[in-house]
Structure 1
Amino acid sequence: MIIAVDFDGVLSSAGKWPEVGEPNEALMNWLSDLRTGGHKVILWTCRVGEALESAVAQCREHGLEFDAVNDNIPEIVEMYGVNSRKITADYYIDDKAVVVKFEKGKEHE
């Protein structure tokens, strides 16, 4: 399983950019446990440069490492033969997410 997770408002409290907010230790611990179990975790954030480095450092300080940062994991690149700009994951954890489900034969608003 591959999980892509956002930083601001998810792994860290929102509203602090470019600084880092308070860490979401429960989520960091859960993701770290998933990695220990063989799952892959990707940091998927708009942060770049020093702001990104600060985010990764905060996560490391709380025991969370990433298999990729703003990039696909190597296994996905090898499987498809390209490195798409859209990160491939089974689950996306983001504070701005909207779940859209369409079912055949059902009206949607």
Structure 2
Amino acid sequence: MVYAVDFDGTLCVNAFPEIGAPRHEIINFVKGRRRDGDKIILWTCRSGWALESAIRWCMRHGLEFDAVNDNLAENIASFNNNSRKVSADFYIDDRNLSLEV
């Protein structure tokens, strides 16, 4: 399975452009999915220095991604196209989940 995971408000409490407190339940879920062989895409509106800060923060929290704001290489090859829409089986975002922390 492929999971596209938002950053602000999902992996951490929303404090943009700063980075809020970690949401350990979501972080642990994502790490578990990857450990079980699922693919993880960091799916965020951040760009430039803000994106780089988010990626470093994720690395410090043990999160690894198969893609960042992009489709997986195998999907690009399969469709011979890299659409602007990130393709995933599940989208984890504070706008579509009730995150109680």
What stretches of structure 1 of length at least 5 have no aligned partner? 99-109
Shift of 1:19: 1.0
In 1, the alpha carbon distance for the partners of 2:96 and 2:79 equals 26
In 1, the alpha carbon distance for the partners of 2:34 and 2:95 equals 24
User: Identity of paired residues, percent?
Assistant: 53
Shift of 1:60: 0.9
Match of 2:78 in 1: 79
Match of 2:46 in 1: 47
In 2, the alpha carbon distance for the partners of 1:23 and 1:59 equals 9
TM-score, length-scaled by structure 1: 0.84
What stretches of structure 2 of length at least 5 have no aligned partner? none
Amino acid corresponding to residue 51 of structure 1 in structure 2: A
Amino acid corresponding to residue 81 of structure 1 in structure 2: N
Aligned residues: 97
Give CA-to-partner distance per residue, 1:28-62, whole Å, 9 cap, x none.
12111111111000011000011111111111111
Amino acid corresponding to residue 79 of structure 2 in structure 1: Y
Q: Larger relative contact order (C-alpha < 8 A, sep ≥ 6)? A: 2
Match of 1:7 in 2: 7
Match of 2:31 in 1: 32
| Structure 1: 4+ residue segments shifted above 6 A | none
